[in-house]
Amino acid sequence: MSKKHTSLISELRGKLKTCDSSHELSNIKSYYLGKNGILADEFIKLKSVKLSEKKELGMSLNILKNEMQDLISQKLNLLSSENDKDIKATDVTLPGKNISLGSRHPIAITINDIMDILGSYGFTSVEGLEIEDEFHNFEALNISDNHPARDMHDTFYVSDNKLLRTHTSSVQIRSMMVAEPPLKIMTPGKVYRCDSDPTHSPMFHQIEGLHIDENINFGHLKGTLIHFIKEFFGKEMQIRFRPSYFPFTEPSAEIDIKFKGKWLEVLGCGMVHPNVLSNVNIDNKKYTGFAFGLGVERLTMLRHSITDLRMFYDNDISFLSQFKDLK
């Protein structure tokens, strides 16, 4: 390569060394390799040299051209890889991603609370089947064939003898059939009734309790439930036991709570009917027991002053997230 060309290369090297932006590099590139750039000037000179020198100068020019192109494209690669690094680098001043935690569903919170309280009284949890037969859901519970609760309007039948359970009392029947008293169980779960309005949903949750042993009486029932209500609401509530009727308990009662000046029914209860005990082969001369059934949605509505039960199933995040700070 000629002396002139060698010095052009070292001049270019010098400029590339201090160049630190792609904008500057593109200026350098057009200065040397552009249409009217240094290299083009050198090529023009080729026309006016003597024939004997042409070959040598031509070779030198080709080397010069290749060298310049190589140097510039190497620099271009270097700058763009540095750029990539910049982009990948973490900017610690940016705000972090907002990862918000979900919350438990209010119904799940209530179920846990109820089970915690009843668990502390010695009730153990048992779950059963959601598709039941007439025997476990009705017959064994002393609900005769022509009882209104058997009407198609209340019960979702799956087939002639199969239905969606209308209460978790069916789980109590299954438990009493396999276990000897004493028995102290609670049965949380979904139940189904053909009903839908602001205070009824075709599917809702129940927790029923059952305690069978020798010498169990209504006093045990009252004591358990009065205590439970106080613990559940976290304060003394105004309550009353109102005589009621269930085919599977005798005597039967319902508990009402005074809420915003009105008596509201919150649970059904009673002493297990002797027929129910004999239906499951428990000696009804030796054993007695009490049972109660709690509506989970009803208790949750009372606790949080919710007026429409259907809100529990709308999946509205702004409603559900209000229960975030609860357990």
Question: Do the Cβ atoms of 176 and 309 come closer than 8 Å?
Answer: no
Question: Do the Cβ atoms of 191 and 205 come closer than 8 Å?
Answer: yes
CA–CA separation, 70 vs 161, rounded Å? 87
Query: Residue 270 interacts with ligand PHE (CB under 6 A)?
Result: yes
Query: Residue 208 interacts with ligand PHE (CB under 6 A)?
Result: yes
Question: From the list 5, 136, 150, 167, which residue makes contact with ligand PHE (rule: CB under 6 A)?
Answer: 167
Closest CA to 11 of 57, 63, 64, 59: 64
Residue 227 CB contacts under 8 Å (≥ 6 apart), including other chains: 121
Residue 167 CB contacts under 8 Å (≥ 6 apart), including other chains: 137, 191, 206, 208, 293
Cβ-proximal residue to ligand PHE, closest one: 293
Quickly count: other Cβ atoms within 10 Å of residue 132's Cβ. Answer: 26
Query: Residue 185 interacts with ligand PHE (CB under 6 A)?
Result: no
**DSSP helix, strand, coil percent of the chain (3-state; round to 5):** 45, 20, 30
Query: Residue 291 interacts with ligand PHE (CB under 6 A)?
Result: yes
Query: Residue 224 interacts with ligand PHE (CB under 6 A)?
Result: no
Cβ proximity to ligand PHE: between 60 and 187 the closer is 187
Cβ proximity to ligand PHE: between 60 and 206 the closer is 206
Q: In the complex, what is the shortest distance from the CB of residue 130 to ligand PHE, in angstroms, rounded to a whole number?
A: 14
Question: From the list 155, 169, 224, 300, which residue makes contact with ligand PHE (rule: CB under 6 A)?
Answer: 169
Query: Residue 106 interacts with ligand PHE (CB under 6 A)?
Result: no
Cβ proximity to ligand PHE: between 60 and 249 the closer is 249
Q: Which residues of the shown chain bind ligand PHE in the complex (CB under 6 A)?
A: 167, 169, 208, 246, 249, 268-270, 291-293
